[in-house]
Amino acid sequence: MRKKKLTPEERQKRRLKIYRERTGKIYFRITCIFLLFMVLAVGFNIFLPDKEYSESENRMLAQFPEFSMANLASGKYMTDMEDYVTDQFFFRDQWIHLKVLEDLTLGKRESNGVYIGKKGYLMQIPENNIDMDSVKNNLNGIREFAQRHEDVNTVMSLVPNAAYILEQLTPANAPVRDQSQDIALAEDTVGDVLTYVDLTDTMSSHRDEAIYYKTDHHWTSLGARYAFDTLYSALGISEPTQDYTIYPVSHTFSGTLASKSGYDRSKDTIDIYVPQDVGTEYVVNYVEEGEKTASMYVSSALDQKDQYEVFFGGNHSRIDITTPADENKNLLIFKDSYANCFIPFLQPYFRSIIVIDPRYYYDDVDRLVTDNSITDILFLYNVDTFMTDTSLADVLEPMPESDTSPADINGTEDAQTDGDDSQGTTDQENSDENSSGDSQDGQDTEGDSQTQDSSEDTDNGNSQNEDSDGNTDGGTDSAQTAQQ
């Protein structure tokens, strides 16, 4: 049987029909796959337990929001639900990693505020939206604080960030904030009331060395050492040791920038520098936590995601470090986390070091200076943190004194006694007796306080000796722990 010869119009219709049938099958299969994926996603999200913390991102994850009509009406409930679904989506880390690979394939070299630079370097993009009012408030707070303690040697330094110093490793044509202007602003504002030490040339001269971590926003212990070599003379330290024993306590450090960007192809080494030929005995007191130890290093941090917390276990509101040093030099440090790996270089040269993180500290810092016979003060921040900080000025603000002065009290008493001379005489006698009693009580209290302080000093000394006998070298202890 001969096939019917089709006209051109019929052939066109037939082709269109076949195309529609094939397209329909493809769309049907895609729809089935998509629906299957959604069913699996819903199933996984329902039956898998929610995670509270993301180790890869080093942050807390959103939890299921609490329903209320008020939250629903304000839109907060839906916003919180969206955050919850985003944070708890199944295989979330794998999807993020896939997205980063896609971006790299397309030539994109920025992910979530992080530059993916050359040689595996990740660099935090310096903040450009700066609240200059907050910056000026902080600088004026430092200026006024230094003026209130003009008899104390005050030093300030801002550490440039990796994206500014390692410009040869940033992606091509990547914009980076000119931090030299930020440093110049700080020096111009406070330079006449304290000693400002510019670390830009120091860090730039070593830019080909590992002075910043590849996967973290901090500088390395090597970078901190070079900074110490520049800063020590300003702090009144003469002829510090140049010999250190270096302990590499981790070769698997993957820092905050790797977590933030999702790019985890590089690993860093954390080194601990232990100075030689100087005293390395000390006691570390975490004041708020009420804990004491004979090491600045927390070896258990090497078993967690943020291994940089090997230095002091992270950030604390106040840390007191005491040593048996002969020279009566007492240092007060206002700092961010950059200083955590810098402080070990300072330890042998001060009898005591008080470390304050203004983000968590709320007590009277002026009294801290006088009560602890502070001889030196150091402000040490990285530029990016300092330019976005909103807490320093408040901490440096002098505490308000009592609203009622002694003169006001005396004036009130005089007014009350004007109407009755006899009663005024009696009040005066009673006032004299109370004054005498108060004076005696003050002397007794002062004596008790001195006795108590002496007893505490003795206890601290005993505690220090006991701790030092058990562990005289924090770096050695951490290195041995890492090797085990």
pLDDT tens profile 438-453? 434 434 434 343 434 4
Tokens of 144: 């006024």
Cα(368)–Cα(287) distance, integer angstroms: 13
Query: Residue 388 in contact with residue 164, Cβ under 8 Å?
Result: no
Residue 197 — very low, low, confident or very high, per pLDDT cuts 50/70/90? very high
Q: CA neighbours within 13 Å on the CB side: how many for 91? A: 11
Confidence (pLDDT) at 428? 42
Cα(246)–Cα(229) distance, integer angstroms: 16
| Tens-digit pLDDT profile for residues 159-181 | 999 999 999 999 988 999 999 99
Q: DSSP letters along 118-179, please? A: GGG-EEEPPP-S--HHHHHHHHHHHHHHHHHTTTSEEEEEEEPPHHHH-GGGSPTT-----H
- Candidates 375, 287, 379, 384; CA nearest to 333 is 379
Query: Residue 48 in contact with residue 89, Cβ under 8 Å?
Result: no
Element at 59 (helix H, strand E): strand 59-60
The two most distant CA atoms of the chain are separated, in Å, by 143
Q: Residue 86 CB: number of other CB atoms within 10 A?
A: 11
- Candidates 288, 202, 296, 286; CA nearest to 249 is 296
Residue 409 — very low, low, confident or very high, per pLDDT cuts 50/70/90? very low
Confidence (pLDDT) at 123? 95
Tokens of 402: 């009592």
Confidence (pLDDT) at 61? 78
Confidence (pLDDT) at 170? 94
Cα(478)–Cα(248) distance, integer angstroms: 9
pLDDT over threshold 80, residue 132: yes
Confidence (pLDDT) at 327? 84
pLDDT over threshold 60, residue 53: yes
- Label residue 154 exposed, middle or buried (CB < 10 Å: 0-12, 13-18, 19+): buried
pLDDT over threshold 50, residue 93: yes
pLDDT over threshold 90, residue 203: yes
Average pLDDT, the chain: 82
Residues 6+ apart with CB under 8 A from 445: none
- Label residue 366 exposed, middle or buried (CB < 10 Å: 0-12, 13-18, 19+): middle
Cα(169)–Cα(166) distance, integer angstroms: 6
Confidence (pLDDT) at 279? 81
Query: Residue 337 in contact with residue 324, Cβ under 8 Å?
Result: no
Q: CA neighbours within 13 Å on the CB side: how many for 465? A: 5
DSSP assignment letter at 107: T
At 146, is the secondary structure helix, strand, or coil? Answer: helix
Query: Residue 315 in contact with residue 340, Cβ under 8 Å?
Result: yes
Confidence (pLDDT) at 259? 85
- Percent of the chain past pLDDT 70, that is, above it, reads 79
Q: Rank 116-130, 284-298, 412-426 by mean pLDDT and report only the highest.
A: 284-298
- Label residue 21 exposed, middle or buried (CB < 10 Å: 0-12, 13-18, 19+): exposed
Query: Residue 477 in contact with residue 280, Cβ under 8 Å?
Result: no
Helix axis angle for 421-470 and 406-417, nearest 10°, is 160
pLDDT over threshold 70, residue 403: no
Confidence (pLDDT) at 482? 42
pLDDT over threshold 80, residue 470: no
CA distances for 346 relative to 236, 294, 339, angstroms? 11, 16, 10
Tokens of 27: 């769309």
Residue 477 — very low, low, confident or very high, per pLDDT cuts 50/70/90? very low
Confidence (pLDDT) at 385? 95
Span of 31-35, 48-52, 396-400, 407-411 with lowest mean pLDDT: 407-411
Q: Rank 51-65, 241-255, 390-404 by mean pLDDT and report only the highest.
A: 241-255
Confidence (pLDDT) at 58? 59
Rg (alpha carbons) of the chain, rounded to whole number: 32
Residue 11 — very low, low, confident or very high, per pLDDT cuts 50/70/90? confident
Give the residue with greater pLDDT, 201 vs 53.
Answer: 201
Query: Residue 61 in contact with residue 87, Cβ under 8 Å?
Result: yes
- Tokens 């009012």 sit on residue: 133
Give the residue with greater pLDDT, 437 vs 344.
Answer: 344
Residues 6+ apart with CB under 8 A from 452: none
Domain boundaries, the chain: 129-399+475-483
Confidence (pLDDT) at 1? 52
